[in-house]
Amino acid sequence: MSAAPLLSVEDLHVEFSTHGGTVQAVRGVNFAVDAGRTLAIVGESGCGKSVSVQSVMGLIPIPPGRISAGSARLRGVEILGNNLIDGRDVRGAEIGMIFQDPMTSLNPTMTIGAQIAEPLRVHRGYGAGRAREEAIRLLDSCRIPEARKRAGQYPFEFSGGMLQRAMIAMAISCKPALLIADEPTTALDVTIQSQILDLMRELQGETGMAIILITHDLGVVARMADEVAVMYAGKIVEHGSVDDIFYRSAHPYTCGLRSAMPVNDRSRHAELKPIEGRPPDLFAPPPGCGYAPRCPHAMQLCGREHPPEFAIGPGRTRPDPAHYSRCWLHHELNRQRPPELHFRE
Amino acid sequence: MRFTLLMWPGGGMAWYVCKRLLQGVLTVWFIATATFFAMHNVPGDPLLNDRAMTPAIRANLEARYGLDQPLLNQYLIYLGNLARGDFGISFTQENRQVNDIIREHFPVSATLGILAVVFAAAGGVLWGALTALYRNRLPDYLIMFLVILGISVPSFVVAALSQLGLVSLNNLTGRSLLPVAGWGSVYHMLAPALVLGLSTMAYLTRLMRSSMLEIIDSDFVRTARSKGVPPALIFSRHQLRNAILPVVTVLGPQIAVITTGGFVVELVFAIPGLGRFFVEAVQQLDYTVIMGTTVFYGAFLVFMVIVVDLLYGVIDPRVRLQ
């Protein structure tokens, strides 16, 4: 294995100019994913998680969007802004992507089969017949019954869950090294969610592709992810292995998210504990930590200066990432760490 | 709403077409009836206009044309003739069958109209897509300014101005590049067809622009980008085809607008179309010609609307029958 990760994103900044001013949607984001691994990016609506991956894929409209700084390298080759390696589009070929709402993410006037065949025709130069046969095979491998008949149908003849399966078939048609799933189950009901997640895992097992999973559902994270990046107000505030995030949460925001998870346990008489307040205005981001106004442990310093990454612990075995948190509480001079920031395993 | 009819259980495509044609016949009957009674309620009558007439000649003529009979009888006779496809004889032009007038002059109007519709549809889709792609930039502003002109300036003004333009163009080059008026060759058709289709083109441009703007940022276009589909294919396969749907829906009524607008343009460009007969017949209360041209135009438009609706099903699979 080479040392370079499959995809590494560094110092990504994305802003949008609007009538009301410039929104700094993503403010310096770093993440990386290795082959065969799943990275989950979690955060609430508007925290910049979708914008981050869509910028990498060249999907944000420019203007009003603008990638003001950063880099995204696929196997060491810069793809940010052009999506090209050796003059070929990596989208659809090396990176597949699925989206939140399968009902609107497919072209209503094209058959499902033709839409799945499209990347094969574009990237592999398949003829119509061969691409169609491959599309049917892909539908079948995504557990769609009567694939041959289904390939000739239109999106309005499919249910939501079936459409998301078709989306997955389309995204993996050229056997990409990376699948980006942008809230793939948010629009689906719970039983279908579970089937879609299982399908993604199975396909990952078969092909060894990496997955970047964008979600706000910690249940999905726990089930799917190897490592997790928690985003808040355009920055990654905590990053670590899935165990680090769930059992050794270091950032107060991660702890807030965890305690805001509904618990299905009558004996604990649990009430839902929301995080009070709302995220900062990204038209004028605060100079310090974005979470400070909502944070129960905020110090004077937090409002003034943005915390750097503090290492919480080293990656324990090689593929496990280092666990770090952007929170002043973890500064080495701070000896009074609130006890709830260390959960016992 | 019209398309919900398509979803009727047990209804096949052939059944749908039959039903639409039946509805069409009903519409044409209604047009014929309304025109007939409206026309007979206009003061005066076709025999009043020119020569002095003795009561005896007048009575003879009335008997000859059936005008002495009760209105209801006239109506029933008329419907009977209509059902046989006989529009009757003109009251004012010597020895001319209305059917002959239509047969001779309608092809001219239809050619002009169809060419105008083609210009309007092609231009509207093209300019509309272009303005959407260049949203809020110079080409967008420029075309949208012209669109407002095209919608608000009446066609007889545009027609006269375009003739003026053609004259100066021909003078400037010293050759007759395009004929200023008349009929005969393809070159005679270009200017009047363009003028005739202009306001519809402007309207379709606006429609296409807004529907294209909706499509440009739609989820499935984003999906196509995420698949690495080249921009030209995204434009033709994903954007254009979906954005064109609302344009096709209004095409039927717009064909009506263009064909009726044809009367004025035919007059200005001295084109021997059906429009002149229509207008003159109303002025002279030439009962049979009024009826003939109106009913014929009505039937033609009803038919075109049905054709456009069927065309819509070809483009959009959601309204197609399984």
Q: Calculate mean pLDDT across residues A95-118.
A: 90
Q: Where do the structural domains in chain B lie, given as residue ranges?
A: 11-319
Cis amide leading into B107 (omega within 30): no
CB contacts under 8 A, A 121-160 vs B, are: 122-123, 154, 156
Residue of chain A whose Cα is closest to the Cα of B220: A105
Rg value, chain A, Cα = 21
Least confident of A103-107, A178-182, B94-98: B94-98
| Chain B partners within 8 Å of A106 (Cβ) | 220, 223
Confidence of residue A344 (pLDDT cuts 50, 70, 90): very low
Is the pLDDT at A250 greater than 50? The verdict is yes
What are the start-end ranges of the H helices in chain B? 13-41, 55-65, 71-83, 98-133, 138-152, 155-173, 186-216, 219-226, 231-233, 241-243, 245-268, 275-284, 287-315
Q: Tally A–B CB contacts below 8 A.
A: 76
Instruction: Specify the CATH architecture of the domain B11-319.
Output: Orthogonal Bundle (1.10)
A96/A169 Cα distance (integer angstroms) = 10
- Nearest Cα of chain B lies from the Cα of A157 at a distance, in angstroms, of 9
Least confident of A117-131, B1-15, B226-240: B1-15
| Closest residue to A91, CB basis, from B217, B226, B315 | B226
B20 close to B306: Cβ distance less than 8 angstroms: yes
Q: Calculate mean pLDDT across residues B256-271.
A: 82
B277/B289 Cα distance (integer angstroms) = 8
Residue of chain B whose Cα is closest to the Cα of A114: B237
Please tell me the predicted confidence (pLDDT) of residue B313: 77
When scoring A19, A99, A109 by the number of chain B Cβ atoms within 10 A, the one with the most, hence best to mutate, is A109
Q: Which residue has the higher pLDDT, B283 or B22?
A: B22
Question: With an 8 Å Cβ cutoff, is A164 touching chain B?
Answer: no
Residue A190: its H or E element = helix A190-207
**Partner-chain contact B228 A92, CB within 8 Å:** yes
Burial zone of A125 (CB within 10 Å; 0-12 exposed, 13-18 middle, 19+ buried): exposed
Inter-CA distances, B275 with A155, B117, B200, B208, Å: 47, 17, 19, 30
The pTM (predicted TM-score) of the whole model is 0.77
| Closest residue to B225, CB basis, from A91, A104, A170 | A91
Q: Calculate mean pLDDT across residues A83-107.
A: 87
A55/A74 Cα distance (integer angstroms) = 14
Q: Which residue has the higher pLDDT, B275 or A211?
A: A211
Q: Calculate mean pLDDT across residues A23-36.
A: 88
B290 close to B282: Cβ distance less than 8 angstroms: yes
Least confident of A93-97, A247-251, A252-256, B62-66: B62-66
Share of chain B above pLDDT 90, in %: 19
Please tell me the predicted confidence (pLDDT) of residue A38: 92
Least confident of A132-146, B150-164, B244-258, B306-320: B306-320
Confidence of residue B48 (pLDDT cuts 50, 70, 90): low
SS3 A107: coil
Confidence of residue B123 (pLDDT cuts 50, 70, 90): very high
CB-CB neighbours of B92 under 10 Å: 18
**Partner-chain contact B220 A167, CB within 8 Å:** no
**Partner-chain contact A156 B318, CB within 8 Å:** yes
Q: Which residue has the higher pLDDT, A341 or A28?
A: A28
Q: Give the full edge-to-edge strand order of the sheet including A77-78.
A: A21-33, A7-18, A65-74, A77-78
Cis amide leading into A63 (omega within 30): yes
- Nearest Cα of chain B lies from the Cα of A345 at a distance, in angstroms, of 40
Question: With an 8 Å Cβ cutoff, is A104 touching chain B?
Answer: yes
Q: Calculate mean pLDDT across residues B210-229.
A: 90
What is chain A's mean pLDDT, rounded? 84
Residue of chain A whose Cα is closest to the Cα of B312: A109
A119 close to A174: Cβ distance less than 8 angstroms: yes
Confidence of residue A321 (pLDDT cuts 50, 70, 90): low
Residue of chain B whose Cα is closest to the Cα of A107: B220
Q: Which residue has the higher pLDDT, B95 or A196?
A: A196
Is the pLDDT at B147 greater than 70? The verdict is yes
Is the pLDDT at B200 greater than 70? The verdict is yes
B258/A98 Cα distance (integer angstroms) = 46
**Partner-chain contact A104 B315, CB within 8 Å:** no
Please tell me the predicted confidence (pLDDT) of residue B7: 45
Please tell me the predicted confidence (pLDDT) of residue B3: 44
B189/B259 Cα distance (integer angstroms) = 15
Residue of chain B whose Cα is closest to the Cα of A111: B317
